[in-house]
Structure formats: C-alpha cells, structure tokens
C-alpha cells in the first residue's frame, strides 16, 4: 500500500509540472505573437508606401533640392577656406613674420611662445583691418542681411574695400611687378588699367608675396643691431681666450637689456602699425 500511495503521489507531481510548463509555453507564444500583430497593424498599405517613395524620389531630383544642396556645399567650402582668406587679405602675414624674426634676432627661440606671438599679431591685425571690415559690412553684408541687395551684388560691393586695402599696400611698397608676375600665368586676362581690373586670382597671391617681401625687409632692419652686438661679444671672447664659452650665452643678457632700455616692443609694434598704408 505504501508503494502504491507513493507512486500515485509521483504521478500527480508530474502532471502538475507538465501543466506549469504548458502554461509557460502558452504565455511565451502569446508574448511573441503580440508584437507581430501590432507590427502588422501598423504597416501602411502598399499603395501608400509606393506614393510616399515616389514623392521622396521626386523631391530628391527636383531643381530646388539641387540648388539648396549646392548652396550648402559652397558654404562649407567657403568656411573651410576662411582661415586662408583671412591670412591672404589682412595684415596678419607681415606682422607674424616680423615678430618671428624678432624672436630669432633676440636669440630666444621659445620666448615669447608661438601662442603669444600669434595672439599679438591677431589683435594688431584687428586694429588695422577694422576700418576695412566696417566698410565691408556697410556695403555688402548689411544690405544683404536686410534683403536690399542680391548675393552677387553684395559680393561685388563687399569685396571692393578689401581689394582697395590690398592695392594700397602693394602701391605703397612698390611691388606692382608681383601683380604682373601672376597675370602672365593667368590665362584669358587682358592688361588691366587700374587695380579694380585686376582679377582676385592674381591680386591675392601678389599681395601675399608683397607682404612677405616687406616683412623680410623690416626683419633685416631689426636684425642689424643684435647682429652687431653678437659680433662684438664674439670678438671679445676670442680675444680673452674664452673659445669654449658660447658667445650667444654671453650676448643674450646684453641683447635683452638693450631691447628693454630702448622700449623695443613699443618701437617694433609702432613701426609695424605705421608700415601699413592707412585705409581712408
């Protein structure tokens, strides 16, 4: 009797476990079937999806879509070239080259640091270029923002002050031959009579070349007194028999003292500001 009772209890336990597994399986099937039903109900009909696809394709190949895309690409291209344009159309090149040559003449390669020299050149360029940029805004950017001029008219009027600034600097330094250098290699251009007739493709590199020449001439004038001081110190050390002692180590304190006594930073910055033809 005991064995019969135990066997009946075991069969009842097995039936309960099977019932639990069947319930779990049914619940899992219900959960899996619910998203499929919702997805099937949310899908649009074939005709609606086809019309939507045709509309999107039609918009993609429309002239308005291509025009907006080209404008976006041109804007990105202009933004990527903005640093180069600022370098080529402002006074930054001359200033940063002269300050770099001054650092070389003093014999201190890392002081002032490159960040300090670049920042000083940027703020000096801001002072020099402020009248030019104000006129660019008044004649080009402002009227275009107020929808008084088209984009083409704003570009033509806005570039005139920048062109005039570059022309004044080339004329003041006497580097007109740089313009003819680039005009010779620019096809399809006639002999210009005025600076307004010179294309920007020739005026921009000519202006940059002129700025480099002027910066090197100013740097040469700065180098002369420090070079003389180096030669004097070198001759004194050789005369005293101190051949193993580097002359640059001895002349560096004297060069710094001389530069501070004559207020060198004020003189160099003032000379740079006065070297630019004023924009009136």
Q: In angstroms, what CA-CA distances link 127 with 130, 141, 179, 184? A: 6, 20, 27, 35
Q: Tell me, yes or no, whether 239 and 136 share the same domain.
A: yes
Percent of all residues in the chain with a pLDDT value above 70, rounded to a whole number: 73
The per-residue pLDDT of the chain, averaged, comes to 75
Q: Tell me, yes or no, whether 131 and 263 share the same domain.
A: yes
Rounded CA separation 273/115 (Å): 20
Rounded to two decimals, what is the model's pTM? 0.67
Q: How confident is the model at residue 216 (pLDDT cuts 50, 70, 90)?
A: very high
Each residue's pLDDT tens digit, 84-96: 777 788 888 899 9
Q: Tell me, yes or no, whether 210 and 133 share the same domain.
A: yes
Q: Is residue 70 part of a domain?
A: no
Q: Does residue 21 carry a pLDDT above 70?
A: no
CA nearest neighbour of 216 among 152, 161, 275, 265: 275
Q: Is residue 43 part of a domain?
A: no
Each residue's pLDDT tens digit, 130-180: 888 888 888 777 776 777 777 777 777 778 888 888 888 888 888 888 888
Q: How many structural domains is the chain composed of?
A: 2
Q: Tell me, yes or no, whether 140 and 270 share the same domain.
A: yes
Q: Tell me, yes or no, whether 118 and 226 share the same domain.
A: yes
| Confidence (pLDDT) at 27 | 57
Q: Tell me, yes or no, whether 22 and 126 share the same domain.
A: no
């Amino acid at each position: 009797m005991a064995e019969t009772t135990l066997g009946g209890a075991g069969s009842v336990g097995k039936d309960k476990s099977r019932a639990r597994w069947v319930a779990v399986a049914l619940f899992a099937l219900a959960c899996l079937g619910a998203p499929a039903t919702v997805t099937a109900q949310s899908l649009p009909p074939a005709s609606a999806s086809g019309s939507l696809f045709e509309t999107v394709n039609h918009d993609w190949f429309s002239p308005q879509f291509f025009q907006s895309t080209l404008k976006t690409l041109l804007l990105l291209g202009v933004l990527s070239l903005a640093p180069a344009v600022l370098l080529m159309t402002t006074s930054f090149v001359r200033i940063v080259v002269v300050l770099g040559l001054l650092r070389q003449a003093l014999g201190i390669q890392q002081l002032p640091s490159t960040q300090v020299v670049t920042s000083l050149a940027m703020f000096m360029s801001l002072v020099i270029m402020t009248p030019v940029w104000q006129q660019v805004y008044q004649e080009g950017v402002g009227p275009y923002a107020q929808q008084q001029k088209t984009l083409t008219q704003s570009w033509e009027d806005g570039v005139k002050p920048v062109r005039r600034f570059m022309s004044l600097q080339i004329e003041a330094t006497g580097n007109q031959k740089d313009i003819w250098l680039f005009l010779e290699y620019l096809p399809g251009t006639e002999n210009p009579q005025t600076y307004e007739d010179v294309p920007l493709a020739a005026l921009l590199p000519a202006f940059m070349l002129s700025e480099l020449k002027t910066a090197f001439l100013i740097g040469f004038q700065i180098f002369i007194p420090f070079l003389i001081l180096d030669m004097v110190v070198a001759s004194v050390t050789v005369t005293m028999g101190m051949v193993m002692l580097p002359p640059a180590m001895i002349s560096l304190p004297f060069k710094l003292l001389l530069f501070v006594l004559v207020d060198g930073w004020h003189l160099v910055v003032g000379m740079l500001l006065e070297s630019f033809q004023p924009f009136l």
